[in-house]
Structure 1
């Protein structure tokens, strides 16, 4: 029984990738190698490199793109319509052929929370180079004629700070939330 255990142990320690003699060759190559002492035991810690105090440069808020007034008059958008977009791309957006690259769910938010979330989401998505995003508003209560966020979101998308970033928006297909969601096509970041 003891012989059998030794054979099993030998099988476990030898790698199938090692050839006979590889271990001896490795040990002979490592004969003159000395183990380094552990610097943590001696109390010699290497200090991390001194970090440069990098502060973002001051930005003139009056020239910030989100606060700048657009040069030309911006026409308000209606769901499924656009002035600055070719018909084929608009049709692809309406039919849900442009797959959303990011998603924002406004369920359970107050109007103020939803508006600020929408603003920062649109800004961040455009900065990341995303073209099509989906905003889920929820359907709301059908007795009331639909939810308040569902009614307010198209108006928010037409607000000057957001409209300058949006090319078009359209009601989502049922697989993506139907009337409780909007596809939003963003302008390319400049």
Structure 2
């Protein structure tokens, strides 16, 4: 069984397995832990690893991706007043990463490696990554900012959490993320 099939199987199974347990699970504990970690020390970072699976549509097959990035900054909650409507809106606090600090690779971007013998077909080409940023807000909404695609924002707005895994959907695309706290002092 090749690596792309194993990853596809994991991507299909993870939301189902995690979703069953986490349907009633709040992300408050996981999100609060990440905010607390970043605010403790300016040398604290959060390494995020994620996978996504987009179902086939028409003649386009399923697309799986793998991405990594680091949350490094904290932006405090703020309020916005709209003078036209007279409405005050709160913008939640969020953890951020810098522009182009993350990478995303896809199963449908592959290459033929002739470096070693025997030559091999490689999915998830390291030579064709997209640049991304990440944001995690205090409500648990996680946003991927696709820097390679005009800064398009993909938001997972109603995630579920189990342990250190945050999972959810953006449209019909399933996403799962893990968080690793580390110190670079």
For normalisation by structure 2, the TM-score amounts to 0.22
Larger Rg: 1
Higher relative CO (CA 8 A, sep ≥ 6), structure 1 or 2?
2
For normalisation by structure 1, the TM-score amounts to 0.21
Give the number of the structure whose residues are more often helix, by fraction: 1
